[in-house]
Amino acid sequence: MQSDSQAAPARIALVQSKPRKGAFSDNLAALRAVFGQLAALDAAPQLIVLPEAALTGYFLEGAVYESARSAERFGHELSSLWRDVAGLRPVEIVAGFYEVDNGSYYNSAIWLALDERETRILHVHRKLFLPTYGVFDEERFLSRGNRVQVFESPLLGRTALLICEDVWHSMVPTIAALKGARSIVVPSAAPGRGIEGEGELLSVTRWRELLRGIAMEHGCFILYAGLAGFEGGKGMTGSSCAIAPDGTTLVRAEADDACIVRAELFLDDVEIARANLPLLGDLRAVLPDLLADEELPWLRGRSDASGC
């Protein structure tokens, strides 16, 4: 139970979109109605999160070059749409998109902050891990990012933005948490695979367990926005969710359709979770010894070269 003295909660909305493949203009027009619906609420969200490739669909392959745009252009398109329906109402917006920058193409996500005076691009994250196996073919068409960065969100404070497979490599959210992230936001486009007990897709079960584990281990909020719908016979699994730092699922969407789910985040819950389960603090204390282990691959070659 939250105390009466605790600060007002942060209001967030996860938009589980179901875009038409490659139809950016049509998908942007559909988003206008979503923004209008959210802006009309008495308690409008302060943060809106859309999935990976939210306005183009994910499986574009070579057509990614036609749909890609610069971060500045994409940010302008999103902010103009919000201003058209919401006026000067402040908001932060996160969305995945295909980015072009100086002739290189990336699977990226942008974080915008709009207030009464201006629109700022707070951060652009370029996906680190580009799956090229099974149904995936990203690295044939895209370049990868090379850094995990933490930045300041006016609403959430120290925050990290990761994309889909990035969070499957446990080192990545761990680096984000060690750099000070109190929230990790994950736009995703995850095709469904396998069947779990009671008919649930195995991939949905694995995602739920993975995200809850990250939240509990690092004492941080996890906001996950998943793409829905079918692309070329491959069904996206949606399942957008917000998870509290103690592992409690605050809200979760169904897997198969477009929708909006909303939650309130009490940001002081990070301190409570980290005090109750201080795993991140323990890691900070032990990490220097772990990284100095000469059996690690990047140190073994150095030791061999020195003759030690």
* Rounded Cα–Cα distance for residues 270 and 263 (Å): 16
Predicted TM-score of the model (pTM): 0.93
Q: Which domains does the chain have, with CATH numbers?
A: 10-275 (3.60.110.10), 278-308 (no CATH)
Which pLDDT score, from 0 to 100, does residue 300 have? 67
Which pLDDT score, from 0 to 100, does residue 255 have? 84
Which pLDDT score, from 0 to 100, does residue 301 have? 61
Per-residue pLDDT reduced to its tens digit, 260-272: 999 999 999 999 9
Which pLDDT score, from 0 to 100, does residue 299 have? 67
Mean pLDDT to the nearest integer, 24-53: 97
* pLDDT bucket at 3, cuts 50 / 70 / 90: very low
Q: Is the pLDDT of residue 258 over 50?
A: yes
Which pLDDT score, from 0 to 100, does residue 35 have? 98
Per-residue pLDDT reduced to its tens digit, 134-181: 888 899 999 999 999 999 999 999 999 999 999 999 999 999 999 999
* CB 201, CB 194: distance < 8 Å: yes
* Rounded Cα–Cα distance for residues 160 and 162 (Å): 7
Per the model's pLDDT, the better-predicted residue between 94 and 254 turns out to be: 94
b (16+ CB within 10 A) / e for 272-288: ebbeebeebeeeeeeee
Which pLDDT score, from 0 to 100, does residue 173 have? 98
* pLDDT bucket at 200, cuts 50 / 70 / 90: confident
* Rounded Cα–Cα distance for residues 283 and 253 (Å): 33
Mean pLDDT to the nearest integer, 297-301: 71
Per-residue pLDDT reduced to its tens digit, 58-106: 999 889 999 999 999 999 999 999 999 999 999 999 999 999 999 999 9
Mean pLDDT, rounded, of the chain: 92
